[in-house]
Structure 1
Amino acid sequence: MELLTPALRAALRANATSAGLPGYDPAPVLKLFNPVGHATWLATELDDDGDVLFGLADLGFGCPELGYFSLCELARVRLPFGLGIERDIGFASDFPLSRWAHAARVTGSILRAEAILRRENPAPDPELSSDPTDG
């Protein structure tokens, strides 16, 4: 699986160029995860080198933290059953990284934080939002 599409790369690079501006606190645009474990990474920025990501990392030990991580290193991880680190293709968030970091620290994991944030702002149900007079 391609961990970083051109569109994601562009969004991560755009965020990186805005880093340091007043009020800068983007929402994560990329979620990577271990399909056979608890490790999860949320990224907001990609450095010029095309490898170093910035975001929230949770290795599954109960202490998620903000920092830098290598896309190349994550892509080289080999897991049981021939698996590797994967990208959550359905991931989208309107919550800024600071909100994710706070929720993850309080709950001890990005996954538990995600459940809480979804309850606060659930995704719209397509069936409920469709217009009954349409079609």
Structure 2
Amino acid sequence: MMLLTPDQRAALRANAIAHRDAMQHGGSEPDPAPVVKLFNPVGAATWLATELDADGDTLFGLADLGFGCPELGGFSLTEIEALRLPFGLAVERDLCFETALPLSVWADAARRAGSISAAEPTLRAAERARPSTELPPPEEGGG
């Protein structure tokens, strides 16, 4: 499985560029929502990435290796892709992952819960409870 789609690569690069620009011009540090979730299908490791450096390999985000202390930092896409797991498996991308919550919220919740996976149900419930900014569908029959 390709761990990053072209659209995800573009979004991750855009976040990295926005972060660099904000730091160079004295702006506030951006806090984007994670773009992609990678996970070990037979273990506890999970990564949420928000940025991709110009080298095309170094991701920034929240890394949870299953030791009870998720950390913000950089990690190598090449190294994650190279991991060979039992039963011929490899690290996978969560195809259904979407979030509007910023990385800082994920990091805080994951640290409190001890893992990204343990924090995810609470964060999903919080997202569902947020008021929608979308317009309701039009009523049938027009009027």
Q: Same fold (TM over 0.5)?
A: yes
* Structure whose alpha-carbon radius of gyration is higher: 2
State how far apart, in whole Å, the 2-side matches of 1:133 and 1:88 are: 36
**Deviation string for 1:41-89 (max 9, x for gaps)?**
0000000000000000000110000000000000000001100000001
Report the equivalent of 1:107. 113
Count of paired positions: 130
Partner residue in 2 for 1:59: 65
List alignment gaps of at least 5 residues for structure 1. 124-128
Cα displacement (A) at 1:120: 1.1
Pair 1:14 & 2:14 matched? yes
- 2:2 is aligned to 2
| Alignment check: 8 A CA contact 2:59 2:75 kept | yes
Structure 2: gaps (5+ residues): 130-135
Query: Structure 1: which amino acid aligns with 2:12?
Result: L
- Please state how far the C-alpha of 1:3 moved relative to its aligned partner: 0.3
What fraction of aligned residue pairs are identical, expressed as a percent?
Answer: 64
Q: Distance in 1 between matches of 2:96 and 2:138?
A: 24
Give the whole-Å Cα distance in 1 for the aligned partners of 2:84 and 2:137.
43
1:32 to 26, 30, 38: 38
> Could you say what secondary structure the match of 1:81 adopts?
helix
Moved more, 113-122 or 78-87: 113-122
SS in 2 for 1:12: helix
Task: Give the counterpart of 1:43 among 49, 52, 55.
Answer: 49
Structure 1 counterpart SS, 2:41: coil
Q: TM-score, normalised by structure 1?
A: 0.90
Q: TM-score, normalised by structure 2?
A: 0.85
TM superposition outliers: structure 1 runs of 4+ over 3 Å? 129-134
